[in-house]
Chains A and B, each alone.
Chain A
């Protein structure tokens, strides 16, 4: 082993230019992997974040349509304490009604939140254009589109009207922009007590919303949750309701994987062919080593070690190059406002795996030249001079 290592090392260092070229070849492959991997996962995280990160991912509602969640506070507490991997558990009471401004009625969805966790789910504080965060007693927060349409500004007093005709005056404590016109023109946010009082409901909620620690486990969490919920309640999760988004994400993952596999294949072929040429170059040396009694196994080990060492050099170089490329991309490919076009996600685990795969495939690629080396007959060399 040591002998094979020593010979391999000397073969590599004796033709530095060629070794460097192979290492750079591997490095380019690894760097493309690191870069593409970081790009795609950055893209996915961003997409997932914008699609489901600012939304409820698991929603508990009454099994019968129109029914309420009666004992919402204790159900919420039990979900929080069950160790299911959920966060930001937030009961909410939704009610459809109208916002009356002068002579005009605007259809709204009045959303009464029972907990500041709602702020976490919808990132309301971030979304506020003006005013404080969650509305206090007798206050509401409106969406930007509705406010503009109805000509309302902060601190104005507006009238809420229920379908049954009762009305209640409230003051506007802030205006939000959730970047989605449908929500901005329909959602009016309030405290749960206000909605309960305005619509004449008791102390009930219409749903309990929450997020999952790992959004991609939402379906599994939902399954477990179903087991501990009271009979009359059910749970929905985002994955079941967003098949298109999921298949989009999957498509992205698969295409990223395909790119990486093809890069890997080309790297493996490059290494195998260069090392195969190297065996031809070194056939005289191998012949003489065999005449001197080196075993076929040790002779092939020389090339496996060469592949392994080239893989390591290429992986280190490639990770450095890939990270450099990633850094340059986030520095120079910018939106007009100075933020990167795509925020790349550098995942150390992914980089380590890429590096290990490169080393493994370089070693694997050297199997073919190693076999040739083992089969080489010293007579061929000695006869031909």
Chain B
């Protein structure tokens, strides 16, 4: 299958006087429709990597291709369009707009894309809310929901424009273990149902094992890149 994400020789250096190299020579290809998890210690550079893939951040050197398109020379507004239509984000903090209801939050990327809410987007939002088990709270103000509901709302929002790629940075970092389980099952379910490519940062090895592929980042380099079967090995042995 094709690669939807292709990174070549990515370096990221922060600071101009005191330079901190966060990523060193990262090469990475992510297959279409795959479910990949990225693990690594705090400060290892995994969030920076995800932000660079998501075109929110630019690499110091190297190239990022999304869906076969080089993003290095794209204008800010072309990048905005790419993010809107091709990439869905789920962050550790839900980042819902507290001024809007859950449903309005879910519809926001579609509104940004179309300039209004189409019947089609409305239908899809309803479907996603059902899938996330949010139909009863969809008209609640975003600030007036439980943490799990908020995070599920932000997942629905990431999916509204039917993106090829969903990038999630510790999407369950703020949730209890039951909610964490529910959220991962939903993500996996969506991966199969909508054929969406998932790239997920997590601290939780247990969760990482649900992925098809596990990538470990250490000191800004890819330290391990294993298919799921191998990753499961030592865990099962220790159990």
Contacts and interface: CB of A to CB of B under 8 A. Distances in A.
A379 B52 CA distance: 10
Residue with the greatest number of chain A CB neighbours at <10 A, chosen from B47, B81, B91, B95: B95
Contact of B76 (A2, A14, A296): A296
Interface in A363-385: 378-379, 381-383, 385
Chain A interface, >50% SS class: helix
A202 interface: no
Residue with the greatest number of chain B CB neighbours at <10 A, chosen from A7, A14, A292, A378: A292
B77 A296 contact: yes
Contacts, number: 73
A285 B95 CA distance: 7
B108 interface: yes
Interface stretch (B36-44, B111-119, B208-216): B111-119
Contact of A295 (B80, B99, B109): B80
B99 A289 contact: no
Interface stretch (B82-90, B120-128, B223-231): B82-90
Nearest to B77: A295
Interface string A211-236: 00000000000000000000000000
A261 interface: no
A298 B97 CA distance: 16
Contacts of A294: 80, 84, 112
A290 interface: yes
Interface in A145-168: none
24 contacts: A3-B111, A3-B116, A10-B100, A11-B99, A13-B99, A14-B99, A284-B95, A285-B97, A285-B98, A287-B95, A288-B97, A289-B112, A291-B56, A291-B83, A292-B84, A293-B80, A293-B81, A293-B112, A294-B84, A294-B112, A296-B77, A297-B77, A379-B51, A383-B47
> 6 closest A-B pairs (Cβ-Cβ)?
A293-B84, A14-B99, A288-B95, A293-B83, A10-B99, A292-B109
Interface of B: 47, 51, 54, 56-57, 76-77, 80-85, 89, 91-93, 95, 97-100, 108-109, 111-113, 115-116, 157
Interface of A: 1-3, 6-7, 10-11, 13-14, 284-285, 287-298, 378-379, 381-383, 385
Given A7-B99, A381-B95, A382-B51, 19 more contacts: A3-B112, A3-B115, A10-B97, A14-B98, A14-B99, A284-B95, A287-B95, A289-B112, A292-B83, A292-B109, A292-B112, A293-B82, A293-B84, A293-B113, A294-B80, A294-B84, A296-B77, A382-B56, A385-B92
